[in-house]
Amino acid sequence: MGVLDSFALTGKVAVVTGGNRGLGRAFAHALGEAGAAVAVLARDRDVSAQVLTELQAKGIVARSYQGDVASRASVHAAAEDIWSDFGAVDVLVNNAGTCIHRAALEVTQEEWSSVLDVNLTGVWNGCQVFGGRMVEAGGGVIVNIGSMSGDIVNRPQWQPAYNASKAAVHHLTRSLAAEWAPLGVRVNAVAPGYVRTEMTPIDRPEFRSRWIDDTPQQRAATPDEIAPAVVFLASPASAYMTGSVLTIDGGYTVF
């Protein structure tokens, strides 16, 4: 196999949670371009329908599924439908996420739970529901989307629930990697720095000095610049990687 062939996902089926906008949309495109059939799992059907149209226009086999990753029942129902439509899932990208900017003493119990429910329990739900079937099938690959916020504390905005959730995602990744390596399932994470999406209002002047000026590359990423790493981790190109957290942050965390 030539080196570029090892990045191919021809004949594979990939699920991307939160695959209808931002980073997840870029992951869906990249995985599809690498040859995978793509299942987009998100809450907003109309937005998912737009991405489906884009993917299908490129000749990518794609379907969308309405679901809430924070709900075990919802993830389970979506998984049933995906298996029924595709017959297998080879790759799961746990990308759906949410963030609230709020100082710790002002965070309500509801806000804390809403972030942890999506960012941590949502990843857990995806890993356990889809990972269980991968184990039964004899193999699979999971890519969790963590964040550099799992390793550093962002500023000037405070986001304690988000930071804690992403640190937990990184360590859940390592825990599952250890447990499932003998069962043929690899589990890695990507930890992006600042990426231009709806979640991250890069252009607001109050954030520029910390978010952009403190980044060695002096800019935010585009989603397309994170997507190739997801293809790498999803493909045989990373066959000897599991339990790794791949930071892609324009150098932010070197300081």
Q: Which of 65, 162, 194, 252 is catalytic?
A: 162
Sheet holding 140-145, edge to edge: 62-66, 37-42, 13-17, 91-94, 140-145, 185-192, 245-248
Interaction of residue 242 with ligand NDP, rule CB under 6 A: no
Of 21 and 102, which CB lies nearer to ligand NDP in the complex structure?
21
User: Do the strands 13-17 and 37-42 form a parallel or antiparallel pair, or are they unpaired?
Assistant: parallel
Region of residue 243 (phi > 0: left; psi between -120 and 50: alpha; otherwise: beta): left
Piece of 5-13, 90-98, 152-160, 175-183 that binds ligand NDP (CB under 6 A): 90-98
Contact with ligand NDP (CB under 6 A): which of 197, 215, 242, 247?
197
- C-alpha to C-alpha distances, 222 to 24, 49, 197, 248, 255, nearest whole angstrom: 12, 22, 8, 11, 22
Q: Which two tokens stand for residue 119?
A: 């960012």
Of 134 and 143, which CB lies nearer to ligand NDP in the complex structure?
143
Of 4 and 153, which CB lies nearer to ligand NDP in the complex structure?
153
Interaction of residue 194 with ligand NDP, rule CB under 6 A: yes
Contact with ligand NDP (CB under 6 A): which of 44, 80, 203, 206?
44
Q: Does residue 194 have an active-site annotation?
A: no
Piece of 31-39, 85-93, 188-196, 229-237 that binds ligand NDP (CB under 6 A): 188-196
What is the Cα–Cα distance from 43 to 58, expressed in whole angstroms?
23
Give, as one character, the DSSP assignment of residue 106: G
User: Do the strands 185-192 and 245-248 form a parallel or antiparallel pair, or are they unpaired?
Assistant: parallel
Interaction of residue 47 with ligand NDP, rule CB under 6 A: yes
Instruction: Give me the least distance between CB of 68 and ligand NDP, in Å please.
Output: 4
Instruction: Give me the least distance between CB of 20 and ligand NDP, in Å please.
Output: 5
Helices 22-33 & 45-57 angle (0-180, nearest 10): 30
Interaction of residue 250 with ligand NDP, rule CB under 6 A: no
Q: Which two tokens stand for residue 83?
A: 């298996």
Per the document, the length of the chain is 255
Instruction: Give me the least distance between CB of 239 and ligand NDP, in Å please.
Output: 25
Interaction of residue 144 with ligand NDP, rule CB under 6 A: no
Residues 146-185: x/- map of binding to ligand NDP (CB under 6 A)? -x--------------------------------------
Q: How far apart are the first and last CA of the chain?
A: 39
Whether residue 141 contacts residue 234, with contact meaning beta carbons closer than 8 Å, is answered with yes
Residue ranges that bind ligand NDP, judged by CB under 6 A: 17-18, 20-24, 42-44, 47, 68-70, 95-98, 118, 122, 145, 147, 192, 194-195, 197-200
Which active-site residues does the annotation give?
A: 162
